[in-house]
Structure 1
Amino acid sequence: MTWLITGGAGYIGAHVARAMAGAGESVVALDDLSAAVPERLPPGVPLVVGSTLDGALLERVFKEYGVTGVVHLAARKQVAESVAEPIRYYRENVGGLATLLDAVAGAGIRRLLFSSSAAVYGNPDVDLITEETLCAPVNPYGETKLAGEWLVRAAGRAHGISTVCLRYFNVAGAAAPELADTGVFNIVPMVFDRLTRDEAPRIFGADYPTPDGTCVRDYIHVADLAEAHLAAARRLAEGDLSGDLTLNIGRGAGVSVRELITVVGEVTGDRREPVVEGRRPGDAPRAVASAERAAEQLGWRASRGVREMVESAWRGWQLHHDR
């Protein structure tokens, strides 16, 4: 097997490339470098600069590197940006996937792993979200991920491609400081950014029907997420998977925003009280995965806790911000 990882120099993609290459898999990365750090890639992993919207490039990469499987992570992923620029999100996330699948089918590639998201569920009123929970996304980003799943499954049926869709919950942490998230879009780097600027962390809404009034989320270490990709890729490579497999990727444990900020304060030594602001539109009170199907199908479970996520993310933040 030779795996093409689209978005392979991004925060999650580089972790996946490292996990797969470290386990002896042959890997090549494709990235348009819009949100990437090429130096994240491990030695020996080639980087092709380009977009999944470029079908001719994909065909050349498949042929040049003898690609036999694809891990598709390349996508735009900011909720607020998707609301402001829905056409761009559909063009890049769904259009890019359509172009990729066309090239995959044309090249006779029969294994594809798709990076999906818990955003496909929207705001379900359940204690644990299972893979059977109704999908009702509440923003264009989530819509593009759900449409992507539909397209992956339809192409799989039409062209005999075995597919896995992994629905990520809230990703945090870093396997090494140099691999850390350099963006300020997810909650952990957002809190770090506030503290670095000598400002108190912000909580958006403290009147939810949860134990401490703040939203509850399922946080997963990015290294655990990368290991889930390795397990899924190997399941595909074994050839015993026909059709589609859709899995939640989380810890199955809820942590409130206030609890998370408390851990950040303990790790950084900056324990200032957060500022409570109004709710953000679309935030669900609780979003926690049922992770049992991933354990059953992949023999994989997340092993790293929230404190390890925050500690590893803080080391990366300090590296990238000269702290």
Structure 2
Amino acid sequence: MILVTGGLGFIGSHVARALLGLGESCLLTRHSAAPRDVPPGAVAERLDMADRDAFLALGDRYDVTGIVHLASTPLRGTDVVAEMRANTSGLLNAFEAARAWGVRRVCVASTIGVYAGVRDSPFREDAPLPPGVPHPIPAFKRSAEALASAIAGHAEFEAVCLRIGAVWGPRGRADSPFFAIPGLVNAAVRGEPYPKKVYSGDGIDALYAPDCGRAVALLQTAGTLRHAVYNIGSGHVTTNAQVATAIRKALPDAPLDLIEGRAPDAPDEDYRLDVTRLRDDTGFTPVHDLDDAVADYVAWLGGRAEGSPDH
């Protein structure tokens, strides 16, 4: 059984479905509210990941053989010290549980944000990371990677860090402060113009959520991994113009109004992730192309509007 902390959240729910599709059983945890929308074949528990005793007690009730640690306390700056403490406690509890339960591999969520300050694109996992991090989230993720490396070096389990890029799709945010894709699709489904300025030439390495879930599941279940850090992304840049074209195929009357060219403050080149390690060690390639992903997301959003929350 694979434990997925945060397994009822955005990325976690897609990881769980991918693991189930690979024939694994799943234990899913979530900190807030009663578990709901639990996929068939999985079980769910409410858990405060910073509660060491509660975390370790899961091993008394379930035979956990692997851990995907995705849960986190949001680092929104209201009390950064408290949030860092909670997230570090949760990470250490996951490692302690892995040691106590004899787990083979722990996958730990990291982020593309750890590459802040790296100038060469595509971003490679072995790129030197410059000192100083401008935001608490990548700061914690860098520290989590360092802890994972140090602890796994003195334990009998593997720790694999997942540098996840821009992910969008079902169960995710209707809008993102970092890229336009989810906001454009959601506005189009509502039949409304997207209120923010969007430049057609700007782009990002974006991965559809079910594909992200499958990538994580493949890394968790692979027989052998040759590295301790993996990028998870599409490996190419998707521009806003391409997104608009895909939306018009799914919703011909969508009110789209993009500004030609690139934003004045856009970098000289859009960043993307080098996914060679992921592809070579797991065989991963995205199942969904952009047209298929947009059409699938539009259908899912339409189903929610009609009262069917899960597709």
Query: Structure 2-normalised TM-score?
Result: 0.84
Distance 1:320 1:283 in 2: 36
Deviations 1:87-134 (A, max 9, x none): 354234333212322333333334211121111111432231111223
| Uncovered stretches (5+) of structure 2, i.e. residues with no partner | none
* Farther off after superposition, 180-189 or 117-126: 180-189
CA contact (8 A) 2:185 2:294 kept: no
Counterpart in the other structure of 2:97: 103
Counterpart in the other structure of 1:184: 175
CA contact (8 A) 2:225 2:281 kept: no
Please give the root-mean-square deviation of Cα atoms over the aligned residues, in Å: 3.0
CA contact (8 A) 2:2 2:64 kept: yes
Larger helix percent: 1
Counterpart in the other structure of 2:36: 38
Quickly say closer, same or farther: Cα 1:272–1:22, change in 2 above 3 A: closer
Q: Percent identity?
A: 22
CA contact (8 A) 2:191 2:254 kept: no
The DSSP-based 3-state class of the residue aligned with 1:220 is strand
Q: Alignment partner for residue 243 of structure 2, among 256, 260, 273?
A: 260
Tell me the matched-pair count.
Answer: 300
Counterpart in the other structure of 1:232: 219
- Residue 53 of structure 1 and its aligned partner are, at CA, apart by 0.8
- Residue 190 of structure 1 and its aligned partner are, at CA, apart by 2.1
Mapping 1:7-156, distance limit 5 Å: 7-33=6-32, 38-39=36-37, 41-76=38-73, 82-83=76-77, 86-136=80-130, 137-156=133-152
- Residue 241 of structure 1 and its aligned partner are, at CA, apart by 4.9
CA contact (8 A) 2:56 2:93 kept: no
Counterpart in the other structure of 2:286: 302
Counterpart in the other structure of 1:272: 256
- Aligned letter for 1:246? V
Counterpart in the other structure of 2:159: 163
* Farther off after superposition, 10-19 or 94-103: 94-103
CA contact (8 A) 2:35 2:44 kept: no
Query: Structure 1-normalised TM-score?
Result: 0.81
- Residue 48 of structure 1 and its aligned partner are, at CA, apart by 0.4
